[in-house]
């Protein structure tokens, strides 16, 4: 009797549990799985918003390999990721450590560092446009104050990526809060023991804090890489501000602002090559997937899994 009662309850749980998540499953099929499958299919077709897909095999991929702008956009994005991931993580770490040490006005400072992260991208990009202005912009004003000449940050190709990374550093608040929370989870006893052993602040940071937050840092690096490869809205807005409209296809001097997702977007919606755009999406997907996998595998060796 008791046994059947248990199975009845299990049955009921199985039914209810599934029933309650059903909305998400339907949403997943409609808005994730179906689009992913269709995207893979589209990548082998020639189609646009006004034309039905027509099978072309590997033509899109072959076309991209010979397309200079594809390589330019891939290079731009790789440079941006290579610069922005380490720099934003280091900046976040510095801010989090300072927030951990400083006791006076702690919550005020935390709000100040976090707030830019929630500002609408359009709004903050427009403000940065003013800061980067070659003549009256405050970045160059500050540089001139210390005797440097300043740069045309968004117009001179070698300086565009550092400028974008600077903008990204302004919005690292989410990572700062997460690292700060992770630091709070590191056991105080470890610090007390280290204190007794006479370890200084830097030693404590290196031997206690860093290993304690390593698993969170790895996750943040993965997220930063994914975000970096999807960096779109800021350059879309900056390029429109420079050229008025994007259908001309220009994206900054020598296409130095042409990030991979921006070129993908142009292919899909202004060049009417949605098949090519889908191929681009899959190349990006595979790059990000492989990078993430390698990173997680490598970090497994060094990081204690919690």
Partner 1 sequence: MGDKKVTGRAGRIIPFILITILALIYLFPIILMFSTSVRTNDEVFNTSLGLWPQEWHFENYTNVFNVMPYWQYFGNTMFVTLMNVLGTVVCTPLIAYSLSKIQWRGRNVLFAIIMSTLMIPYTVTMVPMYKMWTKVGLTGTFWPLIIPAFFGYPFYIVILRQFMLTIPDELMEAAEIDGANSLKVFISVILPLSKPGIATIVIFSFMSTFSDFLGPLLYANSSAHYTLSLGLYSYMNEHTVDWVGMMAATALFMIPIMIVFIFCQKYLMDGISTSGLKG
Query: Quick one: 158 or 305, whose CB is closer to partner 1?
Result: 305
List the interface residues with partner 1, window 175-204 (CB under 8 A): 177-178, 180-182, 185, 188, 190-192, 194-195, 201, 204
User: Which of 62-70, 71-79, 80-88, 217-225 is the region at the interface with partner 1 (rule: CB under 8 A)?
Assistant: 217-225
Query: Quick one: 126 or 158, whose CB is closer to partner 1?
Result: 126
Q: Checking phi first, is residue 258 left (phi over 0); if not, alpha (psi -120 to 50) or beta?
A: beta
| Residue found by looking up tokens 């951990």 in the block | 100
Query: Quick one: 4 or 158, whose CB is closer to partner 1?
Result: 4
Listed in sequence order, the DSSP H helices in the chain are 2-28, 34-42, 59-65, 68-101, 106-114, 121-131, 138-145, 157-170, 173-185, 188-196, 201-204, 210-229, 233-243, 260-269, 274-302
Neighbouring residues of 305: CB distance < 8 A, sequence distance ≥ 6: 215
Q: Minimum CB separation from partner 1 for residue 162, in Å?
A: 16
Interaction pattern, residues 26-65, with partner 1; x per rule: CB under 8 A: xxx-xxx-xxx-xx--x------x----------------
Query: Quick one: 65 or 241, whose CB is closer to partner 1?
Result: 241
Beta-bridge partners for 23: none
Neighbouring residues of 15: CB distance < 8 A, sequence distance ≥ 6: none
Binding of residue 88 to partner 1 (CB under 8 A): no
Q: Is 46 helix (H, G, I), strand (E, B) or coil?
A: strand
Interaction pattern, residues 244-263, with partner 1; x per rule: CB under 8 A: xx---------------x--
List the interface residues with partner 1, window 122-181 (CB under 8 A): 122-124, 126-128, 130-131, 135-136, 138, 141, 170, 174, 177-178, 180-181
What is the rounded radius of gyration, in angstroms, for the C-alpha atoms of the chain? 24
Q: Minimum CB separation from partner 1 for residue 86, in Å?
A: 18
């Amino acid at each position: 009797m008791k046994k059947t009662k248990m199975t009845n309850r299990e049955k009921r749980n199985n039914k209810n549990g599934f029933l309650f998540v059903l909305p998400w499953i339907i949403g997943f099929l409609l808005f994730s799985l179906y689009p992913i499958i269709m995207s893979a299919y589209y990548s082998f077709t020639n189609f646009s918003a006004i034309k039905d897909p027509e099978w072309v095999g590997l033509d899109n991929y072959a076309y991209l390999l010979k397309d200079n702008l594809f390589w330019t956009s891939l290079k731009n994005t790789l440079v941006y990721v290579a610069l922005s991931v380490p720099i934003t993580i280091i900046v976040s770490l510095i801010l989090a450590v300072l927030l951990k040490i400083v006791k006076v006005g702690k919550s005020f400072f935390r709000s100040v560092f976090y707030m830019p992260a929630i500002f609408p991208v359009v709004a903050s990009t427009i403000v940065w446009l003013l800061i980067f202005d070659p003549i009256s912009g405050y970045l160059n004003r500050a540089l001139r104050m210390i005797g440097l000449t300043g740069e045309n940050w968004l117009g001179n190709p070698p300086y565009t990526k550092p400028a974008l990374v600077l903008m990204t550093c302004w919005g690292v608040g989410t990572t700062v809060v997460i690292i700060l929370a992770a630091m709070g989870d590191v056991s105080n006893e470890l610090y007390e023991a280290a204190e007794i052993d006479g370890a200084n602040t830097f030693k404590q940071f290196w031997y206690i804090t860093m290993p304690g937050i390593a698993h969170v840092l790895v996750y943040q690096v993965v997220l930063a890489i994914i975000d970096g490869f999807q960096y779109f809205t800021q350059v879309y807005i900056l390029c429109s501000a420079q050229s008025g409209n994007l259908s001309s296809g220009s994206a900054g001097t020598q296409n130095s602002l042409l990030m991979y997702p921006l070129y993908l977007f142009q292919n899909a919606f202004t060049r009417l090559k949605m098949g090519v755009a889908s191929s681009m999406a899959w190349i990006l997907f595979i790059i990000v997937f492989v990078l993430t996998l390698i990173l997680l595998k490598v970090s497994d060796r060094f990081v204690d899994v919690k």
